[in-house]
Each structure stands twice: as C-alpha cells, then as structure tokens.
C-alpha cells in the first residue's frame, strides 16, 4: 500500500493577476496554472515583499512560488531593473540548475507564443525547445522581458563574458560557485559587484 499525497487547492494564477497581486503578463508565461494553497500563500507573501520558506514535498511546485514572485517584480519594474542582477537562485547540484533552466525556457516559449500576431500559428512538432524559441524570436523578436543565465563553472569563456557585460535578472548557480564568486578576485569581480549592488532575491 502506498499513499499518494495531494495538496489543498488554492486560487488559479489568473485570480492573482486579476487582483493585481501579480503582473498581468504572468498569464502569458505560466499558462493554465491552478495553484495549490501553499503556493498561493507563498506567492502572496513574496509579492508583498516578505520572505518565505516552502517545506512541501517533491513535485509540489516550490519553484513556481519564487519564480512567480521574481518574474512579477521584474515585469513591474522593467525600466528600473534593466541590466541588473536582481536574483540569485542557489542549488545543491548542477542537474537541478539545468532542469530549472529548461523550465524557464518553457516559460519564455509560452510568452513568445502568446505574442504571435493574430492569425499566425506556429508548429512546434519535432523541434527542440531551443529551436522553438529561436523560430519564435524570428517572428516576434527578442521580446521576453526576463533575462536569465546559469553560472556553474562549466560555461565557456564567451558565456561568462556575456554574463559580465550584461548581468541577467536571474542567475542560477550552485553553492560552491557562489562561494567562489563572492570570495575570489579576478574574473568574477564584475559578477560579484552586480550581485552586491543590485540583489533583491536570494533563493536557496
């Protein structure tokens, strides 16, 4: 016998955008999400500028709570947050970083697809996520307002330089790399300064 736990239902995400708890464009990013109660409570706290801890199990949507909070802040302050590293999300292993990066790509694809001109359709069949995003950008342009990057120590020099020149709104990293960024000099100084000068959200 195995128990399959479920979680108490909360509001639909569109309720929070209608109440202006979250920015209305999140409806284009998190399409069709029905929230659990713990997600709604955490998002309401985060959107109000409060800290929160979520202690629910695997598959309970913890990442949505901080992603919705961070995305909404960026969307509400697009001019003020231009070229600023506002958020550092720290994971215990690179596999989780790669997984989260793929999820953000899906959010970007959702936004780009929802921005297609009336009457224009896009067939994503048999295409990778990166190919879909590239195709959609050719139609609607570089319009996704949230910049994100991962910095694990495995990136090539070109990627590292791009992060230094144009700090992303969201930096995904691991705890060992974060320690190196914050303590060593040389090549990480620009990234450290971008974090220290602008960070608003720190997620572990």
Q: Using alpha carbons only, how large is the chain's radius of gyration in Å? A: 18
CB distance 164 to 142 below 8 Å: no
List pLDDT tens digits, range 2-35. 877 789 999 999 999 999 999 999 999 998 888 9
List pLDDT tens digits, range 23-68. 999 999 998 888 999 999 999 999 999 999 999 988 899 999 999 9
Q: Which two tokens stand for residue 160?
A: 């590292």
CB distance 184 to 163 below 8 Å: no
d(CA 138, CA 70): 27
Whole-model pTM? Answer: 0.92
CB distance 68 to 30 below 8 Å: yes
């Amino acid at each position: 016998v195995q128990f399959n736990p479920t979680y108490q239902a909360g509001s639909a995400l569109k309720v929070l955008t209608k109440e202006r708890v979250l920015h209305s464009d999140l409806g284009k990013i998190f399409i069709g999400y029905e929230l659990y109660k713990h997600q709604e409570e955490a998002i309401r706290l985060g959107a109000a500028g409060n800290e929160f801890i979520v202690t629910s199990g695997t598959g309970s949507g913890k990442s949505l709570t901080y992603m919705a909070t961070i995305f909404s802040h960026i969307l509400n302050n697009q001019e003020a947050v231009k070229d600023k590293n506002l958020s550092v999300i720290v994971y215990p292993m690179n596999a989780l970083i790669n997984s989260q990066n793929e999820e953000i790509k899906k959010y970007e694809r959702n936004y780009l697809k929802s921005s297609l001109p009336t009457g224009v359709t896009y067939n994503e069949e048999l295409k990778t996520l990166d190919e879909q995003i590239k195709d959609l950008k050719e139609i609607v342009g570089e319009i996704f307002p949230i910049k994100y990057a991962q910095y694990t120590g495995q990136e090539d020099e070109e990627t590292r330089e791009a992060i230094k020149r144009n700090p992303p709104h969201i930096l995904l990293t691991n705890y060992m790399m974060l320690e190196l960024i914050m303590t060593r000099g040389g090549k990480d100084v620009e990234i450290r300064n971008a974090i220290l000068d602008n960070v608003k959200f720190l997620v572990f």
